[in-house]
Structure 1
């Protein structure tokens, strides 16, 4: 298993799409705060601080996570079907369960790296421009590690779902397109159906799609921590097991 993970990390390091996306996101993360900085400066408004920027935009990072998972899933995993690499490794003697698990682990790590670019780079730039300032009332010094830690955990949950889509669809373009549409529409669909059927309302309330919005809360009640931690872990476990099951039964051409 260790050697399989090493191979997957090697492929991730050599994946040009991954590094191109990281570079583009880094540039965007530097440019985005500058718009606020010059806009506030021209209007004579107080500058937003690093702490304010982080707490305000950490929840918006969910869109980066969704797009990042969709794009990386297509170019890192699904692309191996079209190039014939998947057929080669599937016949290498390792069990398909181990192969999928290794890919999921490295894929999740790559997605986690993507998820941290925007909050870390942008917050660092705003801090250099305007200072860090004060964390919002009600939050503690643990807010930053808590927010970043939950970002990593929920990114892994999204990555597990994205990896499941790759073994179902196999095609790179279909994986990227379907994943983007799914991640962008699932909130609206579940909320709409939930307004008529209470089961789907509860399902949405305890899904990573809604709970990811709680990452940026200044404070989290002790009673909410169980769901906040358990839901992404269950999502990873269930999506991972389904992915292994589908991969076992998949005919790889």
Structure 2
């Protein structure tokens, strides 16, 4: 397993799409706060501090996670079907379960790296421009590590779903397109069905699709923590197991 992880990490480091995503997100993370900075400067409004910016926009990072996972899934995993790499590794003597597990772990690692670019780069830039300031009243001093930790967990949960889609769809274009549509529409779909069916509403309330919006809340009740922790962990485990099942039955040409 260790050697499989090393191989996948090597492929991730050499993957141009991964580094292109990081570069684009870094550029956007530097540009986006500047728009607010110059707009506030022109209008005479008090500038946002680093803490205020992080609290205000950490939930919006969910879109970065969703789109980043969709794109990386297509170019890092699905692309190996068209290049013949998937067929080669499938006949390497390792079980398909181990192969998929190694690929999923490294893919999740890449997705987690992508998920941290916007909150970290943007917050550092805003802090340099106007200071860090203070966290909202009532929020714990652990807000930043908690928010970033949950960001990593939810990125891993979305990565597991994206990896499952790659096993089903194979083609990189289909994977990217379907994953984007699914991640962007699933909230509306589940909320709509949930308004008619109570059990779907409950399922949606405790899913990563809804709970990802709560990871940036300045204050969390003790009762909120179990659901916030278990949702991404269970999603990762269930999606990972389903991915292994699909990969084992998949005919690779």
TM-score by length of 2: 1.00
Deviation at 1:93, TM superposition (A): 0.2
CA distance in 2, matches of 1:21, 1:153: 20
* Equivalent in the alignment of 1:106: 106
Deviation at 1:141, TM superposition (A): 1.2
- Pair 1:185 & 2:178 matched: no
* Equivalent in the alignment of 1:121: 121
- Pair 1:78 & 2:78 matched: yes
Q: Is there any run of 5+ residues in structure 2 with no aligned partner, and where?
A: none
Give me the CA root mean square deviation.
0.4
Deviation at 1:231, TM superposition (A): 1.1
CA distance in 2, matches of 1:199, 1:138: 34
Q: Is there any run of 5+ residues in structure 1 with no aligned partner, and where?
A: none
Deviation at 1:137, TM superposition (A): 1.3
Aligned length: 253
* Equivalent in the alignment of 2:38: 38
* Equivalent in the alignment of 2:48: 48
* Equivalent in the alignment of 1:7: 7
**Residues 60-79 of structure 1 mapped to structure 2, 5 A cutoff:** 60-79=60-79
Deviation digits for residues 35-75 of structure 1 (CA, Å, limit 9, x no counterpart): 00000000011000000000000000000000000000000
CA distance in 1, matches of 2:41, 2:228: 38
- Pair 1:235 & 2:247 matched: no
CA distance in 2, matches of 1:201, 1:140: 30
CA distance in 1, matches of 2:229, 2:56: 22
Deviation digits for residues 87-133 of structure 1 (CA, Å, limit 9, x no counterpart): 00000000000000000000000000000000000000000000000
* Equivalent in the alignment of 2:163: 163
CA distance in 1, matches of 2:89, 2:196: 46
* Equivalent in the alignment of 1:218: 218
CA distance in 2, matches of 1:102, 1:83: 19
Deviation at 1:243, TM superposition (A): 0.2
* Equivalent in the alignment of 2:140: 140
Deviation at 1:140, TM superposition (A): 1.5
CA distance in 2, matches of 1:137, 1:148: 19
CA distance in 1, matches of 2:215, 2:127: 21
- Pair 1:88 & 2:82 matched: no
CA distance in 2, matches of 1:104, 1:178: 19
TM-score by length of 1: 1.00
Deviation at 1:230, TM superposition (A): 0.8
Deviation at 1:159, TM superposition (A): 0.3
